[in-house]
Structure 1
Amino acid sequence: MFKALIPAWMAIGLTVSSVQAQTTEETINYPVDGLNIVGTLSVPAGDPAPVVLLLHGFGGTRDELEIPAVKEGIYTRAARQLAEAGYASLRIDFPGSGDSGGEFADMTYSGQIAAATAALDFLKADPRVNGSKIAVIGWSQGGLVASAIAGRTGIPVATALWAAVGEPEVTFAKLLGADKIAAGLKTGATPLELPMPWGFSLYLKQPYFEEILTTHPLEEIVAYKGPLFVAEGLNDEAIPVGTGEKFIAAHDGPEELWIRPMDHGFNSATGVETVDEMVAATIAFFKPYL
């Protein structure tokens, strides 16, 4: 771990606010492939704490889906609860999402994996956190990314996959339509319009659709031997039921499969109970390793 002086590129755009008593949040920046990646670093008071990297889903941002009952993003809430348990956290915007540089149309799994891997390097070098103890949480497509960085780097001391994409072709054929994937494979440099079920459109280029067919999260997790927490919803409209069991079956190491009657948003549209239960279960699973 580096000492005292934080490189200038770590401190660009620094802001500090109170999350709870004696916890600070800071906006951080780091470069990946010529793009500026923006994140929020939450640091509890005291000695440098173990840290959790939070990876958002398809079309999301670092604060993630707002819970209507409390007007708080799911990842914002999770970061606060992690801090209350004594853990730092970093939630990032992937390239082309939120405040990070790039265009969403250029988004690929490989680009997100590169940004997440660089986030691990950032945390290992930052004296504000204990970079020798890093865990990762990935939700939905962020779970795909989490499985890749866990398997490829071996850095996370624990990993949590929340409603993670295990078979991209199956998930995105359902979400986008098989016809859209076929069209996307021929679109070249012209972004393809993708009407979303939520009433708006996203636009993506051919490389994204190519990686739907060549990315295999279930194979990535095989290489990861660390502790694995998998949350699966029985009412998930995006991820096929049984995907969590497939991740567990592919993994060799300490593990927990946490199944509840929840949708892809962890029932957040109707309250915080399931979200809070899942975060608490994740923290309890991480505790022996962080």
Structure 2
Amino acid sequence: MERSITFPYRQLELAATVHYPCAQKRKQEDKRWPAVIICHGFVGNRIGVNRLFVKAARRLAQEGYFVLRFDYAGCGESEGEYGSYGIDSFIEQTRRALDYTLSIDCIDKSRVFLLGHSLGGAVARLTAEKDSRVSSLILWAPVSHPLSDIIRIVGRPTYEEATRSGKAEHSGYHLSDAFFASLAQAQPLAPGSSFLGDVLILHGTRDEDIPVDACYLYESLLRQRTIGQCEAHVIEGADHTFSSVAASEALFEQTCDWLQKLENRAGNWSDWVI
């Protein structure tokens, strides 16, 4: 079952869709639902290119997960103007999505996942550093250097116009100088991570927006932690939005397999008696 909802962020209402888990997939003794919150990328929305996030949410719900996918302010059906906000605002909005999800009584607070794509991957990573309610991360083609990656996407003339005149247009959005300045401050690959949860990173070998090297940069950083495991895999032939049927199926399959592995590991630990 799916339904549209809104949740507040400052004076705005953010649009979202929630997907309820398939009851047959959950064990009878498992009274609480694990949750996945999907964070879309730069000037994106909760539907995604070729309905990527719709298909992902439905697949995860079939596997027994509660899923929330939402539009950041100024995107999709949410209120606000996207390009006037900085990355700290995106982190705040993601935390409001966490607030909404965790306000539901039947959510398992020990199994709350952020799934971020592209710039949403960087936002998910930065949110997890600030918010201990995030138990694990799933990063699809995550942005590694927010300012330089977004400049490469929009073009340097757009960036220079924004710094010169205060804003510039890209794909129908006005991007402010403050927006770009906030990207310069964002460091998802900063050393000394305080996030100790498990992480899955998936990236396509034909990603022309965010080169696959970003996958290895994240993996190298996150494997330096003394606690928390990190897995990274590349999907051959996949582009930035995993737009082919084969690429999206591989993406969903590897994501679900990893989640099942976490559940199995947690179940095995619960069998130990000390």
Shift of residue 158 of structure 1?
1.5
Where does residue 69 of structure 1 map in the other structure?
none
Does residue 34 of structure 1 match 2:5?
Answer: no
Shift of residue 146 of structure 1?
0.6
CA 1:226/1:121 → structure 2, altered by over 3 Å: closer, same or farther? same
TM-score (norm: length of structure 2): 0.86
Q: Aligned to 2:20, which of 15, 34, 43?
A: 43
Does residue 232 of structure 1 match 2:207?
Answer: no
1:128 and 1:78 mapped to 2: Cα distance?
21
Q: Aligned to 1:56, which of 40, 60, 68?
A: 40
Where does residue 158 of structure 2 map in the other structure?
180
Q: Does the aligned pair in 2 maintain the 1:43–1:49 contact within 8 Å?
A: no
1:184 and 1:127 mapped to 2: Cα distance?
45
Aligned length: 251
Shift of residue 221 of structure 1?
8.3
Where does residue 283 of structure 1 map in the other structure?
256
Does residue 139 of structure 1 match 2:117?
Answer: yes
Where does residue 268 of structure 2 map in the other structure?
none
Corresponding residue SS for 1:185: helix
1:62-73 matches, cutoff 5 A:
62-66=46-50, 73=51
Q: Does the aligned pair in 2 maintain the 1:192–1:205 contact within 8 Å?
A: yes
Q: Does the aligned pair in 2 maintain the 1:148–1:220 contact within 8 Å?
A: no
1:221 and 1:150 mapped to 2: Cα distance?
13
Where does residue 129 of structure 1 map in the other structure?
107
Q: Does the aligned pair in 2 maintain the 1:147–1:221 contact within 8 Å?
A: no
Where does residue 61 of structure 2 map in the other structure?
83
Shift of residue 58 of structure 1?
0.9
Where does residue 10 of structure 1 map in the other structure?
none
Task: Identify unmatched segments of 5+ residues in structure 2.
Answer: 24-30, 264-274
1:64 and 1:220 mapped to 2: Cα distance?
31
Shift of residue 45 of structure 1?
4.5
Where does residue 11 of structure 1 map in the other structure?
none
Please list the CA deviations of residues 96-128 of structure 1 after superposition, one character each: whole Å capped at 9, or x if unmatched: 111111112323212111110111121111125
* Equivalent residue letter for 1:36: E
Q: Aligned to 1:223, which of 189, 194, 212?
A: 194
Aligned-residue sequence identity (percent) comes to: 27
CA-atom RMSD, angstroms? 1.8
2:262 and 2:135 mapped to 1: Cα distance?
6
Bigger Cα displacement from structure 2, 217-226 vs 146-155:
217-226
2:16 and 2:107 mapped to 1: Cα distance?
15
* Equivalent residue letter for 1:57: G
Q: Does the aligned pair in 2 maintain the 1:38–1:99 contact within 8 Å?
A: yes
Q: Does the aligned pair in 1 maintain the 2:149–2:210 contact within 8 Å?
A: yes
1:224 and 1:119 mapped to 2: Cα distance?
19
* Equivalent residue letter for 1:256: E
1:156 and 1:220 mapped to 2: Cα distance?
19
Please list the CA deviations of residues 132-178 of structure 1 after superposition, one character each: whole Å capped at 9, or x if unmatched: 32111100011011111111113222211101101012212211223
TM-score (norm: length of structure 1): 0.81
Q: Does the aligned pair in 1 maintain the 2:235–2:251 contact within 8 Å?
A: no
Task: Identify unmatched segments of 5+ residues in structure 1.
Answer: 1-23, 67-72, 195-199
The structure that is helix-richer by fraction is 2
